[in-house]
C-alpha cells in the first residue's frame, strides 16, 4: 500500500528539514511512503531521506525537457536532483493554473519516459456528482492516460479536498472499482484523509493507498495514517 503526503505550498527548506529528520527516525515498515514537498524543499528532503525507504516526489513536472517555460521544472531536472516521481493534474492545478486532461496526460508521459514515477490525479466536482456525471468525468480524465508500471492514479473528488468532507467508504470503493475497470493501475484515494477515517477508507478492496493533504503536514497524523495502512 502507498501513502503519499502532498505538502502543497507549505514547508520551506527549514521546516522540511525538521520534518524529514523526524520522519526518517520513525519506524514505518509494511507500507510505501512518499513525501511531496514544494520545489524549494525537494533538495533537502532528498538529502535527508537518502538511505531510507521513503521516497520524495515533486508536486508537478513540465512535459518538455528544457526550453523557454518560465516557472516550470522538467523531469530530467528532477531526476538530477534525486527525485523519485511527481504528481500531475492535481485539482488545484486544474482550478487555478489551467491544467486540463490533455496537459495532465502530456506531463505524465514525459515524466514516465524520463524514468519518474507518476501520481495522476482525477476526480469530479460536487456539481458533477450531483448531476450524476461522476463516471463520465472519470472516463474522460483517464482516457488520456496509458497504463504503465510506474503510473498510479489518485481519485480525489474535488468536493472533498480541503473541505473537511470525505467520500464514504462506499463512494470510494465504487469510484476506485470503476477506475480499475478502465485502467489497470493502482488507485489511491485522496480528499480529507485523516487518522480518524484512514482505516475505513484504506480497507476497501479497490483502494491501494492514499494521497494525503493537510494531514501529511503534521508528523504524528501522517505517521498514524502510514501505520494504519501497514496494519491492513
CB 7 within 8 A of CB 38: yes
| CA atoms 167, 116, 5, 74: torsion sign | negative
* Cell numbers that stand for 77 in this block: 531536472
Per the document, the length of the chain is 232
Spot the catalytic one: 62, 90, 99, 124.
90
Q: Give Dmax (Cα) for the chain.
A: 48
Distance CA 206, CA 224 (A): 21
90 an active-site residue? yes
92 an active-site residue? no
* CB proximity list for 218: less than 8 A, separation 6 or greater: none
Spot the catalytic one: 92, 124, 156, 176.
156
Q: Distance between terminal CA atoms of the chain?
A: 9
Distance CA 74, CA 106 (A): 12
The residues pairing with 4 across neighbouring beta strands, listed in sequence order, are 34, 211
Distance CA 157, CA 90 (A): 11
Coil, helix or strand at residue 160: helix
**Torsions phi, psi of 155, nearest 5?**
-85, 110
In 3D space, the residue among 196, 142, 141, 136 whose CA is nearest the CA of residue 166 turns out to be: 196
Active-site positions? Answer: 90, 156
Amino acid at each position: 500500500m502507498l501513502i503519499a503526503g502532498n505538502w502543497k505550498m507549505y514547508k520551506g527548506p527549514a521546516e522540511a528539514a525538521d520534518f524529514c529528520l523526524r520522519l526518517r527516525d520513525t519506524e514505518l515498515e509494511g507500507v510505501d511512503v512518499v513525501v511531496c514537498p514544494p520545489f524549494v524543499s525537494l533538495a533537502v528532503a532528498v538529502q535527508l531521506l537518502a538511505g531510507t525507504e521513503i521516497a520524495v516526489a515533486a508536486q508537478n513536472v513540465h512535459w518538455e525537457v528544457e526550453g523557454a517555460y518560465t516557472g516550470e521544472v522538467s523531469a530530467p531536472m528532477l531526476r538530477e536532483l534525486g527525485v523519485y516521481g511527481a504528481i500531475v493534474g492535481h485539482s488545484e492545478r486544474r482550478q487555478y493554473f489551467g491544467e486540463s486532461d490533455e496537459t495532465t496526460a502530456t506531463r505524465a508521459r514525459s515524466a514516465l519516459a524520463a524514468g519518474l514515477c507518476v501520481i495522476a490525479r482525477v476526480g469530479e466536482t460536487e456539481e458533477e456528482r450531483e448531476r450524476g456525471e461522476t463516471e463520465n468525468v472519470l472516463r474522460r480524465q483517464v482516457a488520456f492516460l496509458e497504463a504503465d508500471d510506474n503510473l498510479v492514479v489518485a481519485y480525489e473528488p474535488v468536493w472533498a479536498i480541503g473541505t473537511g468532507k470525505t467520500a464514504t467508504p462506499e463512494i470510494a470503493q465504487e469510484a476506485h472499482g470503476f477506475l480499475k475497470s478502465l485502467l489497470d493501475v493502482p488507485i489511491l484515494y485522496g480528499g480529507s484523509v485523516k487518522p480518524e477515517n484512514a482505516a475505513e477508507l484504506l480497507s476497501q478492496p479497490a483502494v491501494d493507498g492514499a494521497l494525503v493533504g493537510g494531514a501529511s503536514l503534521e508528523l504524528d497524523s501522517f505517521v498514524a495514517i502510514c501505520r494504519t495502512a501497514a496494519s491492513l
